[in-house]
Amino acid sequence: MAILLRVKDVQPILIVHYAKRLLWRKFHINRSNTNKSRYYEQAGLCRTLVYEHEKSKESSVVNQSNLGAFYRLINKRMSCKSGVGPLKSAFGSLLINDRDKAAALNVYFCSVFTSDDGECPAFNRRVADNVSLNRIDITSNDVIRYIKNVKMACPQVLMEYHITF
């Protein structure tokens, strides 16, 4: 049974998070199974709401066709703010220096992945035999039309490319 508070103009995530905090305090004082199950149910609801909120924010960034916002979202997801923790080397010593950790990870990944032998793997056809793509025609007018529709932070860059066509 989740606790829902009636507060006007407050985001549902904050309300659920506050209720989770109250249930945690209640469970911390009285460790009964009822309090535990109520806390875990509220924590699950809070986790679900946060996940759905992040998902909707990402969807809106992708759907608004803003290239800068999209790259900010991707870079935010790719960065590792805490860094890589200490690693053990093959000899058992602790690696703390970033260069040593990078070298150890490089050796590991080189040993795990296979190198390219230059041969194309067998690829089964996924469409009918009568379907084929023989030619693609892209003219300079097509490129210019596409570039005009792209939203960029610096329009003068577009003009430099436009002059070359």
- Whole-angstrom CA distances from 25 to 18, 19, 20, 59, 80 are 11, 10, 9, 35, 32
CA distance 30 to 155: 63
Each of the 165 residues of the chain gets a pLDDT tens digit; together they read 454 444 443 477 778 878 888 888 888 888 888 888 888 888 888 888 888 888 888 888 878 877 888 888 888 777 666 678 888 888 889 998 889 999 999 988 888 877 778 888 888 888 999 998 888 999 999 988 888 877 665 555 555 555 544
Whether residue 105 sits in one domain with residue 74 = no
The per-residue pLDDT for 85 is 84
- Name residues whose C-beta falls within 8 Å of residue 41's C-beta, 6 or more positions apart in sequence: 1, 2
153 is a domain residue: no
CA distance 68 to 151: 9
137 is a domain residue: no
Whether residue 64 sits in one domain with residue 34 = yes
Q: 26: domain range?
A: 12-78
Whether residue 16 sits in one domain with residue 56 = yes
158 is a domain residue: no
Q: Six-digit token pair at 30?
A: 């009285």
The per-residue pLDDT for 6 is 44
Q: Provide the 10 A C-beta neighbour count for residue 65.
A: 11
Whether residue 86 sits in one domain with residue 36 = no
Whether residue 102 sits in one domain with residue 55 = no
Q: State the total domains in the chain.
A: 2
CA distance 47 to 43: 6
The per-residue pLDDT for 94 is 92
Whether residue 59 sits in one domain with residue 20 = yes
Whether residue 37 sits in one domain with residue 64 = yes
CA distance 124 to 127: 9
124 is a domain residue: no
Of 78, 105, 136, the residue that ends a domain is: 78
The per-residue pLDDT for 8 is 43
What's phi and psi for 88, nearest 5 deg? -95, 135
